[in-house]
Structure 1
């Protein structure tokens, strides 16, 4: 991966880091993208058992839990409150198409995953990006080029121990590297990290339609700053999203024609045990 210094990408620095991460938190839980894609391919209401039949590598019970959470987050609607009522994408969920395409394009251009299903590629990308304050760290490095650990922690407004943990994770995910092997060598964005501008912009645009008016807040640290619009915290997004749920039938979540879900390798299934702690 290249470590050459590049000019700051305005799209990275101009987005609201917390808004982006709050929005990503809605689609970060495992199998959310798979479930959304399955509903989009159907183009109409589906019962839990029918969604699970399209995803044989996930238990029906877990599919039910995931759809219930997506319903609480406003990504899907349900035709009635009775037990077994079918689900379908809401207007909010259907509008994820641009985010998914941008995530997929970024992943294909900058990550070496080999031949994987489109939904798996999107979920892998979200896994790398959604952790709290990752965006703030990336913004610091994008704005200032190579930076030492202390400078990153100070500029991002984060505790030293937390900054260290975040940098380690960003390195493992291929978004950040160091300029040399010696201890204390500055950190710098990789090509994948520098290319995140369009991804962040797409996520922020997706979150804007569900923004709810709120009083102006006092200035906060760089790591937690926010613009007017969506309330801070994923609960704020979920509340606003719920207020805008739509029963309109989705057309298509992805630009390609509906295709059967590909078989997921055993290694992927093993990594994807029913757990929300992504």
Structure 2
């Protein structure tokens, strides 16, 4: 099943798994997408309490902590260093829109078509991807061009057996990996959803390339420079690079759908999570 906005097939084997995981670690934590979209709706500086007012399903204290983390990761900037100073999206945060669109398209095509808020759809998809070493396991299975036994997955991904097993169990539960049989030792394969992750990984990797993620916080860029970075910079030779550039040009045209959204339904938040985040709206 194809989706018009979904980029064409990409080679998972060609991506830099470490770079992708570093980027996913910044955008994958829960409520990051919701917070970014809330800031984008306002399109200007917003105080923590005003962001929290738009996210009544989590506490103001939690929103403040999430914004502080996003600030450290370069996704938002503050007007000044005063306590309570407002936040706004940085150029790096704004340039996430095409990536989130690709993630949303992948989810809608391969995970669930159940109606839900776009932010919730993206966060559900990123939850399946951002755990450390998950990308390496998926890349190992993709390189097998078919079935792969557990011991070879662990060896190819460079993981000890215990961690490799944990990741495989989680990836199976998330619908990205499956086993070919029920017997001990039966090999693993990527599901259709897992095989289609190339477009997502390529978008995430390309988003991270202009910024020194390995060196720490990315310096904010002027908005015009960020736009040029993601639709016009040379990507190097090769068919995958050309497809990545074309895909990002297409997704850039739809980026406003993600970052200028109409009011969305509240996410399905477990009662335990709501209770845990309820105290402390005093910031």
TM-score (norm 2): 0.79
Which residue pairs with 1:128 in the alignment?
A: 128
Give how far 1:264 is off.
2.5
1:188 aligns with 2:189: yes
RMSD between aligned alpha carbons?
2.2
* Alpha carbons 1:37, 1:253 under 8 Å: kept: no
1:173 aligns with 2:149: no
Which residue pairs with 1:153 in the alignment?
A: 154
* Alpha carbons 2:76, 2:89 under 8 Å: kept: yes
Alignment of 1:218-237 (within 5 A): 230-231=213-214, 236=215
Q: After TM superposition, where is structure 1 displaced by more than 6 Å over at least 4 residues in a row? A: none
Give how far 1:246 is off.
5.2
Find the aligned partners of 1:63 and 1:266 in 2 and give their Cα distance.
Answer: 15
* Alpha carbons 1:142, 1:194 under 8 Å: kept: yes
* Alpha carbons 1:74, 1:245 under 8 Å: kept: no
Cα deviation digits, residues 230-249 of structure 1 (max 9, x gap): 52xxxx3x33x1x335589x
Give how far 1:177 is off.
0.1
Number of corresponding residues: 239
Judging changes above 3 Å, is the alpha-carbon distance between structure 1 residues 113 and 76 closer, same or farther for their aligned structure 2 residues? same
Cα deviation digits, residues 10-37 of structure 1 (max 9, x gap): 5200000010000000012211100000
Find the aligned partners of 1:193 and 1:89 in 2 and give their Cα distance.
Answer: 31
Which residue pairs with 1:105 in the alignment?
A: 105
Unaligned runs of 5+ in 2: 1-8, 228-253, 278-283
1:208 aligns with 2:209: yes
Which residue pairs with 1:45 in the alignment?
A: 45
Unaligned runs of 5+ in 1: 1-8, 212-229
TM-score (norm 1): 0.80
Find the aligned partners of 1:10 and 1:34 in 2 and give their Cα distance.
Answer: 28
Give how far 1:258 is off.
3.1
Cα deviation digits, residues 214-240 of structure 1 (max 9, x gap): xxxxxxxxxxxxxxxx52xxxx3x33x
From 261, 265, 269, the counterpart of 2:268: 265
